[in-house]
Chain A
Amino acid sequence: MSRPEGCALVTGSSRGIGAATALALAGDGWPVRINYRADEEGAREVAERIAAEGGRARVLQGDVADAADTERLLEPGEDGPVLALVNNAGLRLDNLSPQISDEDWQRVIDVNLTAAFRATRQALGPMLRARFGRIVNVASIVGIRANAGQANYAASKAGTIGFTKTVAVEVARRGITVNAVAPGLIETALTEGIADDSDLKKAIPARRVGTPEEVAACIRFLASEEASYVTGTTLTVDGGLSA
């Protein structure tokens, strides 16, 4: 089976898991759209690394919480339609439940869940016509097991997992797969201040935090043609933490 002409979009790919994923997908021959909200320098560095390795990349600014920005990120361009979508952009605004403001609740849901829905909705049209598509949503083990202080984040990630399963069954017969990865503790800006906690490391069977590249390798597989019979699943990437 040959992959139809199209590109990959990785939201939030100026650093961390998104950047590692953009590099991995470029390594698989995807022209990659690198998206950033504020870190233009980081995004350009990722694009330069891809170009240096012979790949193709475009850098696109856009806030995924903004519907118009998301629409623009997914418009078909010279690199074709988006046939691999990685909904990675995310944020956490942690607090104990009684202290989470309405604004912090909504902001986390908007960025982590609603944005993934909007991007997926738009991506599916061209994917349906191409009879091919790969959608990978970056969830979290916090969407599977509890972590005090992250009720808004957990709700958004559990929602992402449910959303992933539902869309997967809706479009499976058109050659489109929809999966999620659920990273555990990964060394990124998002886990700054947590990743050094030695008690937490003791709770991880692998006794270490993971790397963005280890998550990207899983996303790369789920976005590949070889993963054509894998859909609706959530792959935990957590050093055994949720086992």
Chain B
Amino acid sequence: MATDVTTDNVEKVIFDGLVELGTERDELSREATLEDLDVDSLDLVELAQIVEDEFGVELRGDDVKDVKTVGEVIDLVVSKAA
């Protein structure tokens, strides 16, 4: 069953997902940019799959192409679920 889409839940899933993708946990913050964290386009595709598995929210290429920071990813997922 899909997890409730709250900002806290999404933040946890995104942070855990980024760690799974190789980011150091102490580098993570809402303000951190994907570029600084070395998150590439394939990582973003995988992160979108994690989000879909957890929350049932689909993120397509157009949704994420302008996203720059971790906080923006979290806000995007919350807004798509609303």
Contacts and interface: CB of A to CB of B under 8 A. Distances in A.
B81 interface: no
Interface string A138-172: 00000000000000000000000000000000110
- The majority secondary structure among interface residues of chain A is helix
B13 to A, nearest CB: 13
A242 B67 CA distance: 47
A170 B42 contact: yes
A173 interface: yes
Interface in B39-69: 42, 45-46, 48-50, 52-53
Interface residues of A, number: 9
- The majority secondary structure among interface residues of chain B is helix
B45 A128 contact: yes
Contacts of B45: 124-125, 128
B42 A125 contact: no
Contacts of A126: 49
Contacts of A171: 42
Interface of A: 124-126, 128-129, 170-171, 173-174
12 contacts: A125-B45, A125-B46, A125-B48, A125-B49, A125-B52, A126-B49, A128-B42, A128-B46, A129-B49, A129-B50, A129-B53, A170-B42
